[in-house]
Amino acid sequence: MADYSVTQTVPTVFLDKRGVAVNGWKVYFILTEFDEIHEVSVASLNPEVVKRAIEDVLANRKALASLGKTK
């Protein structure tokens, strides 16, 4: 089973790291393991850009899930 699935893309304007308005996209996706819907803002729908942004969210979510667990 896939770790995530992109469900929707929406054109948007957002502020980049410099605070400059950028035309881009909101990409909505489901994290399969957690059955949660999340979104990322990206400047491009290039699959590598979107993949990197989503996988950052996934890695952080997995780290949150492991908080408080004993080893």
Closest CA to 4 of 43, 52, 68, 46: 52
Task: Please write the tens of the pLDDT for every residue from 6-65.
Answer: 999 999 999 988 999 999 999 999 999 999 999 999 999 999 999 999 999 999 999 999
Structural domain boundaries, residue 58: 4-66
- Report pLDDT for 70: 67
CA distance 58 to 41: 15
Is residue 41 situated within a structural domain? yes
Tokens coding 8: 């929707």
Is residue 71 situated within a structural domain? no
Helix, strand counts (H, E) of the chain: 1, 3
Domain count, the chain: 1
